[in-house]
Amino acid sequence: MAVINRIAEFYEEMKTWRRHIHSKPEVGFECFQTADFIKEMLVEFGVDEIHEGWAKTGIVAIINGKGEGGNIALRADMDALPMDEKTNLEYASTHAGAMHACGHDGHTTMLLGAAKYLAETRNFSGRVILVFQPAEEAGGGAGVMVEEGLIENFNIEHAFALHNLPDLEIGKFETTVGPLLASVDDFEITIHGRGGHAAHPDHTVDPILVSVNIVQALQSIISRNVDPLESGVLSITKMNIGTANNVISNNGEIVGTIRAFQPAVRKMMISRLKEIVENVAIGFGATSEVRFLDGYPSTINHPESVEFAANIARKVVGNNNVNENATPTMGAEDFAFILQKCKGAYLYIGNGESEKLHNEGFDFNDEISPIGASYFVGLVEASQPLKS
């Protein structure tokens, strides 16, 4: 198959779209201009249905194939990061404090490229559900769309997504069966002690002493509770306690993150954290509160979807350029919410030599857009072939 010729033909067009989106990055759920642009393109391509307002600015579009068939979803994220761009590119961000430093401009472009081709050719049966989601970086836009009924409303049977990967060569894909990315659960702990004069600690319950003991004790979760053959991360990343040399303060705050690949490990770490915080605090005569902020589950690829997707990727880039045994990382991805509800797989596509993701010098490589778009099209045409 290689890159589909027709898609290669609109490489320049895709480049224009990508650079346009890149120059107008939007953060979180506020992807209004991006959504307007996507809608404009989809109307031009002649897709059959456009559903707006999913997770505020998300778009779900439908392309009908020929005859009855399945419902495959292809997903792209469209949000940028809250940071300033330092690339000096002619199409650099024109929005202060926002930058497409994770390549979601490119992910959106690859899906638009596939949409254009699929709407034009319709060499498939059933329907394609195109999902453009906001708030991947924070806020879990995909999770919100799932809660709003994405999977049930469109009868999605399986879903696929791509993320670019710096330093993976152009023309290569990688993924793995099972967990590819970790769950993330950020937490905030408040310790309520009793403040007073530093000269009379006996009249106080010192939240600093309580907190350092909690931080120490929490390290036992990884070393003593997690199965040595499993993985987990618990990092304390911020402590905020105290005001002056001679004052013992009332309260303290401890902030951090938990990451794991296996749902059971995630669950155990969360409950052990709560038990340790509560009981260590009690041991010192303090009280505590633990709050978990909106977490992401781990991104767990379904075995048969990986096999299917890897075969399609091989048809585009060749047999030796698809690695199905990539090493998982402790990053996170909200496509995980979709994979909790239906089958599917998340793959990396090589961005070639580039700055790292989330770096102020990063740029998505336009050369890979036709490869990603051809892969998306291949998934559709192979999973829902035309019936003769």
Question: Which residues here bind Zn ion, judged by CB under 5 A?
Answer: 102
Give 83 or 170: the residue with its C-beta nearer to Zn ion: 83
Give 102 or 270: the residue with its C-beta nearer to Zn ion: 102
CA distance 30 to 132: 13
Sign of the C-alpha dihedral computed for residues 104, 110, 112 and 115 taken in this order:
negative
Contact 260, 231 (CB under 8 A): yes
Burial class for 109, CB neighbours closer than 10 Å (0-12, 13-18, 19+): buried
- Whole-number minimum distance, CB 353 to Zn ion, in Å? 18
Residue given tokens 């490229």 in the structure block? 113
Which phi and psi angles does 58 have, rounded to 5°? Answer: -75, 155
Give 49 or 355: the residue with its C-beta nearer to Zn ion: 355
- Whole-number minimum distance, CB 358 to Zn ion, in Å? 6
The distance of Cα 93 from the centroid of its chain, to the nearest Å, equals 21
Residue given tokens 């793995």 in the structure block? 176
Give 282 or 293: the residue with its C-beta nearer to Zn ion: 293
| DSSP code, position 202 | G
Give 55 or 102: the residue with its C-beta nearer to Zn ion: 102
Which residue's C-beta sits nearest to Zn ion? Answer: 102
Maximum distance among all Cα pairs of the chain, rounded to whole angstroms? 88
Give 102 or 189: the residue with its C-beta nearer to Zn ion: 102
- Whole-number minimum distance, CB 45 to Zn ion, in Å? 25
Helix (H) or strand (E) holding 109: helix 104-121
